[in-house]
Amino acid sequence: MIQSFRSKAKQKNIVVVVTPGVALLDIAGPCDVFNFANQIAREEKLHPEAYLIIMASATRAHRATTGPGVVLANLIPVWEITAAIDTLIIAGSPVARLEKPDEAFYQWLREAHKKTQRTASVCVGAFVLAKAGILKNQKATTHWEYAKQLQSSFPSLRVDDHLFVASNKRVYTSGGISSGIDLSLKLVEEDLGREIAAKVARKLVVPLRRTGTQGGQFGALLSAVELNTKLASGVKDWLDSNLTKHVTVEQMADQANMSPRNFARVFAKETRLTPGKFLEKLRVEKAKQMLEETDLRLKQISARCGLGSLISMRRTFLRHVSISPSGYRNTFQKSAV
DNA sequence: AGTAAGCGCCGCCATG
DNA sequence: CTCATGGCGGCGCTTA
């Protein structure tokens, strides 16, 4: 019985726009998230059918070949969509970074965006939103490999390549290919609440909110790329035993026997990270570890990581992990069984 | 809350 | 000529 469902909210139309060469995961991620959200909302008697997923094509063709060769059929060219679009998702693909799709598509996109509740991109789909002018002056992210290109092509954007999802009022961008999942989970959380989103995440066996950076290992702030460089790994050992102290970049340079200027330059080239940022990440990493594995007071943890006062640890922590230290502990502390 | 001080970062230029 | 290094000064973020 319809009456038994708690939510009176209308069904939302999710339009996923694909272009040829799209990574399968770019579209599979969002599709599965919304589909599982439907399923769970139904089971929970919250909503009989929360989402309708519409697969659309950015070209006149009704089919598109994905990067791995799987052919998507029965696509609806965007111009033929008649339903009101609640959420528009532009999936990334190699052509998304080029001048394609054509001007007609961009015109459609600009018009459509005026009417959507939310417009989003996965991976390099951000280039499409940027070209359409939708990201002007907004915070944005994309696949980290293309973040620089995005920033230089569209200087007004504030590109942050370590984010998985960047959200503004109505516009969302997400990072690497798999982050379409993170993006969609966030949208589901907004629509159906945290509990449902968490259940979807559990079903997919992914964290509800990924912490850390793109390219980083799961939950790790510092990626192998950043740590496996000569400079970083060399300095890291020394840093680990000096984290409680106030460390300057100059001291780090000393450890590497280089001038501060040159150290900073070479370090940045190798790791894509400035020495200061690296140090900060290392401190937060250590704090995360202690929050997970110990019962130490926040203040003690802060001291041991060199993150300063409780206030400043909180601030720094929020910047990197997007939740407070105590919130992080609540979610991730390993229960003492 | 608004300001001042400190520090890291980066562009620019000089040197080897 | 180029490439790696290093010094200087200004800008901006963080903290007190």
Give pLDDT tens digits for A127-158.
Answer: 999 999 999 888 888 987 788 888 888 888 88
Return mean pLDDT, chain A.
86
Q: How many residues does chain A have?
A: 337
Strand C contacted by A262 CB (< 7 A): yes
pLDDT class for A333, splitting at 50, 70, 90?
Answer: low
Above 70 in pLDDT, residue A272?
yes
Contact A92, A98 (CB under 8 A): no
Nucleotides of chain C touched by protein CB (<7 A): 5-8, 14-16
Residue A121 — pLDDT band, cuts 50, 70, 90?
A: very high
User: What is the pLDDT, as a whole number, of residue A226?
Assistant: 67
Q: Which of A174, A154, A156 is nearest to A165 (CA)?
A: A174
Nearest nucleotide relative to A250: CA against C1': B8
Taking CA atoms, A78 is separated from A45, A83, A230, in Å, by 33, 11, 49
pLDDT band of residue A217 (cuts 50, 70, 90) is very low
- Across A220-232, b (16+ Cβ under 10 Å) vs e yields bbbbebbbebebb
Q: How far is the CA of A181 from the C1' of C16 (A)?
A: 41
Is A275 within 7 A of strand B by CB distance? yes
User: What are A252-263's pLDDT values in tens digits?
Assistant: 898 888 989 999
Looking at this protein, which amino acid is placed at residue A336?
A: A
Query: How high is the pLDDT of residue A219?
Result: 53
φ, ψ of residue A16 in degrees (nearest 5)? -105, 115
Distance, CA of A3 to CA of A78 (rounded, Å) = 34
Query: What pLDDT does A321 receive?
Result: 79
Q: How far is the CA of A309 from the C1' of B4 (A)?
A: 20
Per-residue model confidence (pLDDT) at position A104: 92
Q: What is the pTM of this model?
A: 0.63
On the question of pLDDT at A118 being above 80, the answer is yes
Mean pLDDT of A329-334: 69
Q: Mean pLDDT throughout A275-280?
A: 92
